[in-house]
Amino acid sequence: MLTNVAVALLDEVAPFEFGIFCEVFGIDRSDHGLPVYDYAVCAAEDGPLTMAGTGFAFAPAHGLERLESADLICVPAFRNASERTYPEPLMAALRRGAERGARVLSVCSGAYVLGAAGLLDGRRCTTHWMHAPALARRFPRALVDPDVLYVDEGPVITSAGTASGIDACLHVVRQEHGAEVANAIARRMVVPPHRDGGQAQYIQRPLPRTSCDTVGEVIGWMGRHLAEEITVEQLAERAHMSPRTFARRFLQETGTTPYQWVLRQRVLLAQELLESTDETVDAIAGRSGFGNAAALRHHFLRTLGTTPNSFRRTFRGPQAA
């Protein structure tokens, strides 16, 4: 069970990425029955340390020795991360942590720190899309995937830019404490409990949001009628366009086709129902528009690489029983 969390900091730490760890793991939410973590901020080099772009300096209360007892070691982003060399004591502490079974989680350019420690060798990983080519060049043994929000290659978890760190942290909470706890923390933070793909081993980048200039109203209707048969002809009629014009406009504004949009939203709805209800797979298939369990399993496997039952067992935690 996750109880002990430590954040390793270098100079010029990115304030938002650091703040994610403070928000998810550092706040006492016991008044709502949520877990309280033994949370520590640790200096990985001599201080005082600064926050990039703020002019703010601070001195963490702990040193690297605090990492030795952590169940989760967090590494935020830093300015000029791709150009730095990193202290060997930090590299050794990260390696020891992974070897003894602690999780190591990076946000954005924090992946460079994990790469320098050798923790990305032979592993799938990600970082901000702007940093991905440089990360792959610097660490050629790392399997860099720029098209995901985060990658869980236990015990190493890497996440993409900025807000994807929230996704990765909530993923860890969900695995350790179940969907109810992760969802409660997400509500306190006023963020989605999961984005596009829920809690599969990795999450694909969300579909581009529509500008809602012409198809936004129709998209709202589609989302409310996922259990029904939806055709391009129906949608075009609602938008007062020809089917061909509607399909072209939909692609321009969303980056995908009406069929793929509906399919993805149905998978997301099925994930939510699998996590939050005790309904059978057949019933969920009907409510999410797949019609039967076989079709739901087919699209779950194609989209998430897992089955509905396996997803439910994994991501409902103790409730799955």
- CA dist., res. 175 & res. 169, Å (int): 10
Share above pLDDT 70 across residues of the chain, in percent, rounded to a whole number = 91
Q: What is the pLDDT of residue 200?
A: 35
pLDDT for the residue 194:
67
The pLDDT score that the predictor gives to residue 26 is 97
Distance from C-alpha of 149 to C-alpha of 202, rounded to nearest angstrom: 7
Q: For the chain, how many helices (H) and strands (E)?
A: 13, 11
Reading the block at residue 222, the tokens are: 């589609």
φ, ψ at 144 (rounded to 5°): -80, 125
Q: Burial letters for 195-212: b for 16+ Cβ neighbours within 10 Å, e otherwise?
A: bbbbbbbbbeeeeeebee
- Count of CB atoms situated within 10 Å of the CB of 162: 15
Rounded-to-integer distance, Cα 250 and Cα 240, Å:
13
- Kindly give the parts of the chain with pLDDT less than 70: 194-213, 315-321
What domains appear along the chain, each with residue ranges and CATH number?
A: 4-204 (3.40.50.880), 207-321 (1.10.10.60)
Q: pLDDT for 254-295, tens place per residue?
A: 778 999 889 988 998 898 888 888 899 999 999 999 999 999
pLDDT at 77: 95
Q: What is the pLDDT of residue 199?
A: 31
pLDDT in tens, 73-103: 999 999 999 888 999 999 999 999 999 999 9
With 0-12 CB in 10 A as exposed, 13-18 as middle and 19+ as buried, what is 53? exposed
Give the pLDDT of residue 219.
84
pLDDT at residue number 217: 80
pLDDT of residue 256: 83
Residue 274 Cα distances to 124, 212, 234, 315, angstroms: 27, 30, 29, 9
Q: Determine the pLDDT at residue 82.
A: 87
* pLDDT at site 317: 53
Q: How far apart are CA 165 and CA 170, in angstroms?
A: 9
Cα–Cα distances (Å) from 177 to 122, 198, 317, in that order, read 29, 16, 7
